Structure 1
């Protein structure tokens, strides 16, 4: 299923008010870990899967990437991305991630930020990305952590005084769709295990080079005390692999 919630006016309006939608990469808590996984971008041809407002595309050009293609299914997202971009070396295309069909070996780096947990067939995406990368090319992506996606409710177990007692995990090995509530809307996310993410990369031919479950740093906790919750359970999973 190719899901396009971002062209729903109400959902898009709510998304546009999120801190990361307003403040960009610096407002995204996982950005520091994601950035540290990126290879050298200078002179690189870059593909961004699920580019949204184009923050990562513009960052790649700031790092002197040769060219950047950002793909997204949402016209609302692409319209905002184009309005925020003044760079002929960045091209935005309306395209579902599932439908990418690029020639062999045309990219040096493929990135994706918090988009692939909306994709049903992760293995197929890995194969397509591998095909489109040059030898030695890098695939860097982030998703919601499987501990976060295992239960559709994606919420804490609360005590009698609404205190957050623990994060429930159940049906972890039961992979597949979860009807989650996000931004006051029902959204389908696809739960898969950490093993499935790793095996998807390996079976496509990649070598896994880095994996992060994003433990908040002291600096992150000082800047935003709300990150204390992320020390109790991981919310993000980030991976880097090479062809």
Structure 2
């Protein structure tokens, strides 16, 4: 089971404060992942790691037939049920390792910044594949492998004598596995895997990768947050869109 750090009281309070400011999610990740969304009218959607439900609500408001949002955090789901409720949405407390307990198929599986918390990536991708209808899409984002690589989670940008970002230092890229770092609190666990491992897992499972995006900021985002310029040195996010074949065998 994944670590349930979002129900840590200190972590939850600090995380929710991010909603009051323009974050990297708002300026980089969400704009790019939204560009990859197919027509969702009349579709069934699974939102893995739905958090406080903002994406689940967006899908429902744009015509999805049914949205199931799952998250391991009770605190996040309490917010989702209060602020992002809709007749077409069902929220469930569930770890992503347990999704095969769901009894229906989906036209799209979506996940924003949750997959790097999955200990068994191969199982997760196979489970997602099995839950998708033929021709269905997996669209997800995660922390970029460059970000997750360094064993002590302390990769860092380097500055020149004028204080400009010039490079990024990281290590341990080829060593897959658990990483433990600090984000609001100590002991936050996620899992690193290389780009090759990610792509090969998707391909060997049967997915056709249609898009792989490493977002860089657009002009409007740089106006909001000028230090996003360092994203041209090292990307923070990886976004993947993959499709299950129309002719795949579900036997």
Q: Equivalences for 1:143-222 in 2 at 5 Å?
A: 143-151=142-150, 152-157=153-158, 164=165, 166-222=167-223
Distance change in 2, residues 1:24/1:160 (3 Å) = closer
Distance 1:88 1:22, change over 3 A: farther
* Superposition deviation, residue 116 in structure 1: 0.5
Q: How many residues align?
A: 242
8 Å CA contact 1:108–1:134 kept in 2: the answer is: yes
Structure 1 gaps of 5+ residues are none
CA contact (8 A) 2:166 2:233 kept: no
CA distance in 2, matches of 1:237, 1:210: 10
Which one is further off, 213-222 or 2-11? 213-222
Mapped to 1, the partners of 2:162 and 2:220 lie a distance apart of 30
Is the alpha carbon distance of 1:83 and 1:22 closer, same or farther for their aligned partners in structure 2, counting shifts above 3 Å? farther
Unaligned runs of 5+ in 2: 245-251
Decide which moves more: 49-58 or 224-233. Answer: 224-233
* Higher mean displacement: 218-227 or 87-96: 218-227
Q: What is the Cα deviation at residue 72 of structure 1?
A: 0.5
| TM-score under structure 2 length normalisation | 0.89
- The more displaced of 39-48 and 211-220 is 211-220
**Pair 73,14 (structure 1): closer, same or farther in 2 beyond 3 Å:** same
Structure 2 CA distance for aligned equivalents of residues 135 and 165 of structure 1: 45
- Taking structure 1 as reference, are residues 148 and 170 closer, same or farther at Cα in structure 2, changes over 3 Å only? same
Aligned twin of 1:9? 9
Q: What residue number does 1:56 align with? A: 55
Q: 1:217 to 1:162 in 2, by over 3 A?
A: closer
Q: Which stretch of the first structure deviates more once superposed, 87-96 or 101-110?
A: 101-110
CA-atom RMSD in angstroms:
2.2
Deviation at 1:178, TM superposition (A): 1.0
